[in-house]
Structure 1
């Protein structure tokens, strides 16, 4: 079916107090696995390509983007395409012509005023191209000379009042909030600050996004969705599924040289992970 937009999926999820799953993809096998997993769950999904993934692909956005668009157009469920954690303005401006409907612009490395100015400029450009834009805010820092604190640094949290001011001044369409998750976690031990999430949800009038969700246990994810998270980003969980499946296959078949053999089991493992995460997000939290 035709590509849908990230904005319509997330806006609908926020209105329904549900969440759309957004999976970071690196290879064609990632793309195929996310689509297959979403089809198994019979649920819409977002394919995300990060700036780091573009760097891995030798700085070329279009090969993976074109593959993602082709897979989305043949999917049995709605699929959107999102460019994730963009710091390069040059890469940002490739978004509209590559099939993306949205971008997450990341200027959190800058002092607050520069962060805000860069994000405002990115939002203005994105909206001129009919693109939906997401930003991220932890403890911004830089206001009294201290360096910015990454939103996923230990202890980083998004302050509701600061977040409201940032969203209003920047004009972004969604905000990723720091409530206890961390990028690249390989254990599911993150504990989320649900009281803070409640305050953020009541303070902000844009959809909220959770990054670093691979390290968040199922029950915590379900509570986060019930508490107001409308988009859940997942990356490391797919890489763990892929790598684990390849390791197991090669351990059992040390003579193997045909990459199609181990990439098949890797793709299947990632698809199962996608289906499981999507179903978790649709499961009401335990009382």
Structure 2
């Protein structure tokens, strides 16, 4: 199956009132595990590559081509998304590589500059038939707008969407990036208000810090695209650590990376089912 446009998956979920999982890829094995989980669940998934990840690999293209290959072999719909890109040149490269969507992060810029830069990205992406996600107010940087107590203003959000023409908006409703404990409390009333006010799908960043039942409530209130990275990374890392602790002389990296891939896949599938069906699975 070839890559599916991100717009197709997000708009279908929004119309159905369900959630679509967007999971960050760090390397080939995470892409393989995420897609394996999606195939087991029989559900679509969005693979995300962040600007930070592209920097880690030294370039976007190698991992992007690997994800395209994994998607082409998948039995379920898979979309490819560029996450938290601050460099417009990287956005252009992603679109040339066939990404179905990009998240342009101008949140560090003054509001007027963020609007202007985001609008330019939208114009370029529209010409490529791609979907654009953006945000207003700093959500990146681990403790910006997704720090506890910081919230998206619905009226400012409306103005931002109208001024930029974005297709989806990441909103600050109580979650925070890179949380390892699932203890974040989301403002469900604000999510519902934003859903009523905006005509574009809402995106939840920092979902790793949100418990299953709260994620379900957030989707019911109006969230659509649910981003997860740290939570899944934890499954991968714990499995690798366990193998190495039990086998201190092991030097073949395939043998411990395989364990990480095997541990991540079922959790990816479980989360996709949770978002799609709204029923928290039992541990």
TM-score range, shorter chain: over 0.9
Shift of 1:272: 1.6
Q: Which residue of 1 aligns with 2:275?
A: 281
Shift of 1:155: 1.9
1:268 to 252, 259, 262: 262
Q: Which residue of 2 aligns with 1:71?
A: 70
Instruction: Provide structure 2 residue ranges, at least 5 long, that are not aligned to the other structure.
Output: none
Contact 1:138 1:156 in 2 (8 A): no
Q: Which residue of 2 aligns with 1:256?
A: 250
* Residues 1:161 and 1:31: Cα distance change in structure 2 (over 3 Å): same
CA-based RMSD of the aligned residues comes to 1.4
Shift of 1:139: 7.0
Q: Which residue of 2 aligns with 1:144?
A: none
In the alignment, the residues of structure 2 paired with residue 284 and residue 274 of structure 1 have an alpha-carbon distance, to the nearest angstrom, of 15
Shift of 1:83: 0.5
Bigger drift between 216-225 and 129-138 goes to 129-138
**Aligned length, in residue pairs:** 277
User: 1:27 and 2:36 equivalent?
Assistant: no
> Residue by residue, what CA displacement relative to the aligned partner does 1:3-51 show, whole Å, maximum 9, x if unpaired?
1011110001000001110000010001100100000110000000000
2:203 to 195, 204, 209: 209
How do 1:1-287 residues align onto structure 2 when only pairs under 5 Å count?
A: 1-58=1-58, 60-138=59-137, 150-284=144-278
Shift of 1:137: 2.5
Contact 2:175 2:206 in 1 (8 A): yes
In the alignment, the residues of structure 2 paired with residue 175 and residue 281 of structure 1 have an alpha-carbon distance, to the nearest angstrom, of 18
Contact 1:242 1:266 in 2 (8 A): yes
TM-score, structure 2 as length reference: 0.95
In the alignment, the residues of structure 2 paired with residue 285 and residue 138 of structure 1 have an alpha-carbon distance, to the nearest angstrom, of 32
Shift of 1:248: 0.7
In the alignment, the residues of structure 2 paired with residue 75 and residue 285 of structure 1 have an alpha-carbon distance, to the nearest angstrom, of 25
* Residues 1:285 and 1:28: Cα distance change in structure 2 (over 3 Å): closer
State the SS of the aligned residue for 2:93.
coil
TM-score, structure 1 as length reference: 0.94
Instruction: Provide structure 1 residue ranges, at least 5 long, that are not aligned to the other structure.
Output: 141-148
Bigger drift between 271-280 and 10-19 goes to 271-280
In the alignment, the residues of structure 1 paired with residue 86 and residue 138 of structure 2 have an alpha-carbon distance, to the nearest angstrom, of 18
Shift of 1:131: 1.1
Shift of 1:239: 1.3
Shift of 1:285: 6.1
